[in-house]
Structure 1
Amino acid sequence: MADLTMIIAHIKDNFAAAFFPRWAEWAAASVLLSIGLMLSINTDLMVSSVANGYGRGYQLLLAIAGQSVWATALTVFGSTRLAILLINGAWRRSPVARAVTAFISCFFWTQLVLSFQPTFGFAFVMACGWLLTDIVNIMRAARDARTVNDVLAREKGSGLD
């Protein structure tokens, strides 16, 4: 319970300071969550688009998994990534978790890029942009993790633990 109280206090005191440097991570996570929710609400989007001959971009996604699986995976993953961003800093390993979730996000963006590549339209270009954004997010989160580890190693070496 004390850990939860500490995390809530950290979020309250540091949210604005932590949000703005990581806005791209928040945006990418929010878009994945939004795609998952959209697929949950618009339950026949992928299948009906393919059936009507307009959904070439959904064919690869549907070959991998059904729309409900994509909806659930994106909703759960997007929510998890947002939760990690929310508690960032209150948990020592949060930069590592941020880097890992940005890396996993690249799987979803890559599936969207490959799926919509045949259409070479808006969805393809946007998925490429989000993929590039999360590649940069991986590097930034990994740099933050390195900084945290270096500070902890210095403290440990100086006998301040």
Structure 2
Amino acid sequence: MIVAHIRDNFTAAFFPRWAEWSAAFVLLGIGMMLSVNTNLMVSSVANGYGKGYEFLLEIAGQSVWATTLTVFGSFRLAILLINGAWRRSPIARAVMAFLSCFFWTQLVLSFQPTFGFAFVMACGWLLTDIVNIMRAARDARTVNDVLARGKGSGLD
């Protein structure tokens, strides 16, 4: 059922939710980049160029950030891929966007002292996911309203 839903509805579901897909891919990409570039954070701090990474390293090591972001980004993409195949998917999308705000906030706080490109981009992704929370919550309400009136399965 889920595979058939993905095959039949991917294009229709992708474009209205492109910002959610983008945010999920960026989190996955950051995790993968940290996995490949294994000493980015520590060497940048040691060389005096990584002021933005100091806060992140106080929370956890680079390998923890890499693994967490890769797993979280992959899980968020999976939720988006099967979106609509079960009733609670808009709620799951809203929860994932909300949880993503934790990572964006950590990046904003980490790069705030540098006030450079990374800070501005993290702020942009944080704002994007705040909007994604509201849009997914609206979709959840629509599904619940349709089901409450008995006018369908709410899976469309």
TM bin, normalised by shorter chain, reads over 0.9
CA distance in 2, matches of 1:91, 1:33: 24
Alignment-derived partner of residue 58 in structure 2: 63
Instruction: Tell me which of 25, 29, 34 is aligned to 1:30.
Output: 25
- Aligned pairs, number: 151
Query: How far does residue 104 in structure 1 lie from its aligned partner after superposition?
Result: 0.2
Alignment-derived partner of residue 14 in structure 1: 9
CA distance in 2, matches of 1:152, 1:128: 36
**Poorly superposed stretches of 4+, deviation over 3 Å:** none
CA distance in 2, matches of 1:95, 1:76: 20
Query: Are positions 1:82 and 2:77 aligned together?
Result: yes
CA distance in 1, matches of 2:59, 2:86: 35
CA distance in 2, matches of 1:138, 1:18: 16
SS in 2 for 1:56: coil
RMSD across aligned positions (CA):
0.7
CA distance in 2, matches of 1:74, 1:147: 30
- Counterpart AA for 1:113: V
Give 1:1-161 correspondences, 5 Å limit: 6-155=1-150
CA distance in 1, matches of 2:33, 2:27: 10
Q: Between the two proteins, what is the percent identity of the paired residues? A: 87
Q: Indicate the structure (1 or 2) with the bigger Cα radius of gyration.
A: 1
In structure 1, runs of 5+ residues without a counterpart are: 1-5, 157-161
Query: How far does residue 89 in structure 1 lie from its aligned partner after superposition?
Result: 0.5
Query: How far does residue 18 in structure 1 lie from its aligned partner after superposition?
Result: 0.1
In structure 2, runs of 5+ residues without a counterpart are: 152-156
